[in-house]
């Protein structure tokens, strides 16, 4: 998948369009990502001994990876991701804007 955990991304579609955040979890098998502070849903939580706060809690719900774009750490722009093979044989992601390898 083109987006990984800890990537900074820009949401380009849907109701969170234009927001930026850091990927908290990636779900490659579903092509979904969960992003910090994006797509919050309200959940009702019951009071349990280990949960002090009962009532409504907010948490992130995953969104489709096709709705986000990687923000390149080198040029700081939303970038399409390409791939290239490094000299040691590893496949690396590259930023299509500046051409730099994105780790």
Q: Return the number of the residue (14 or 74) whose C-beta is nearest Zn ion.
A: 74
Quick one: which of 72, 78, 93, 94 contacts Zn ion (CB under 5 A)?
Answer: 72
Grouping H, G, I as helix, E, B as strand and the rest as coil, residue 94 is strand
Separation of alpha carbons 5 and 1, rounded Å: 10
Quick one: which of 84, 98, 101, 103 contacts Zn ion (CB under 5 A)?
Answer: 98
Separation of alpha carbons 90 and 8, rounded Å: 22
The token pair at 42 is 């309200």
Q: Return the number of the residue (7 or 34) whose C-beta is nearest Zn ion.
A: 7
Quick one: which of 2, 4, 22, 74 contacts Zn ion (CB under 5 A)?
Answer: 74
């Amino acid at each position: 998948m083109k987006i990984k955990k800890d990537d900074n991304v820009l949401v380009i579609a849907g109701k969170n369009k234009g927001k930026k955040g850091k990927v908290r979890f990636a779900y490659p098998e579903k092509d979904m990502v969960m992003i910090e502070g994006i797509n919050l849903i309200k959940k009702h939580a019951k009071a349990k001994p280990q949960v002090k706060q009962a009532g409504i809690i907010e948490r992130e719900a995953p969104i489709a990876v096709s709705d986000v774009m990687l923000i390149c750490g080198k040029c700081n722009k939303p970038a399409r991701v390409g791939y290239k093979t490094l000299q040691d044989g590893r496949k690396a992601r590259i930023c299509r804007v500046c051409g730099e390898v994105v780790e």
